[in-house]
Amino acid sequence: MNKKIDQLVQELKDEFRLLLTISFSVFLFVLFFQPFPFEVTDLNNNLLIVAGLGAIVFFFMALVRIVIPWIFEINDQEKRERLFPSYFNGFMIFVLSSLAFIFYIRYVGGVSITFYITFKAIFMCLAVPVILGLHDSYREMRDHNAVLISERKEVQKQIEKYEEDTLNKSIGFASENVSENFSLLIGEVAFIKSADNYVEIVYKEGEAFRKKLIRNTLKNIESQLKQYTNFIRCHRICIVNVHYIEKLNRNSNNYWLTIKDYDEQIPVSRQYLLKVKDVV
């Protein structure tokens, strides 16, 4: 029993600021705009009557949003929404508040009920579920956005881990001259250029860039590298590791890449320009 009461108290604490803000707004609206001609002329009594309207709104909002779900022992928000959809909650608050307003205005405020008075009371009570609906929509979007951000961070971590694992894989470069065969980590290869009957492999060893010539064709090397998404063809004579690309540059109708910590410019042909732009 104590646990159930603690749950109710916690629910009230969570919603108290929202409910109090809306109720106080109703109080201020009636106080300053005086939509109802109360017979009471004494200021203190008039304040009490107006405060009663705010209390009515607070009571029915708390009843529908907190107490009724608590009575049915519905703790899960999804179950609440299935049993009491948000539009039904809003309708209940609207109907109960409207009836209570009219009775209160008539029998406590001493106001004669006319169509115009009824319209103003109903209009004020209609504003309450509308505000609650907007607040709930905002909170739902905020929570959904928080979930998406969390999922994005998790996916980003997985991508970074995958890229790190990929960069640490070893790849062997074959040469027609078997003695020239050698292996490098994918993360070490900066770019590969065609050089007549050879290919020039530029790789990073420690803080320095080094070059290695092997007898092979760029076409064969490209076929070998197709399984690795780190490498893209940027020109008929060059394949580059995207992790070493610093910037895509343009001068008139010419495009080229600058490599991090390396002075040489890598040409980019229009044939491969769109692919390069996708990764830069």
SS (H, E, C) the chain: CHHHHHHHHHHHHHHHHHHHHHHHHHHHHHHHHCCCCCCCCCHHHHHHHHHHHHHHHHHHHHHHHHHHHHHCCCCCHHHHHHHCCHHHHHHHHHHHHHHHHHHHHHHCCCCCCCHHHHHHHHHHHHHHHHHHHHHHHHHHHHHHHHHHHHHHHHHHHHHHHHHHHHHCCEEEECCCCHHHCEEEEHHHEEEEEEECCEEEEEEEECCEEEEEEEECCHHHHHHHHCCCCCEEEEECCEEEEHHHEEEEEEECCEEEEEECCCCCEEEECHHHHHHHHHHC
**Residue 84 near residue 68, CB atoms below 8 Å:** yes
Q: What is the pLDDT of residue 239?
A: 94
Q: Is residue 124 within 8 Å of residue 35, measured between CB atoms? A: yes
Q: What pTM, to 2 d.p., does this model score? A: 0.61
Domain range summary for the chain, segments of one domain joined by +: 2-142, 170-279
Mean pLDDT of 25-41: 88
Which of 36-40, 75-79, 166-170 is modeled with the greatest confidence? 36-40
pLDDT tens-digit profile of 249-277? 988 888 999 999 888 889 999 999 998 88
Q: Which two tokens stand for residue 6?
A: 């603690």
pLDDT at 193 (0 to 100): 93
Task: Please give the residue that has the higher pLDDT: either 25 or 180.
Answer: 25
**Minimal CA–CA distance to 61: which of 16, 118, 7?**
16
Please indicate whether residue 32 or residue 161 has the higher confidence score (pLDDT).
32
Q: What is the CATH number of domain 170-279?
A: 2.40.50.1020
Average pLDDT over residues 19-38: 92
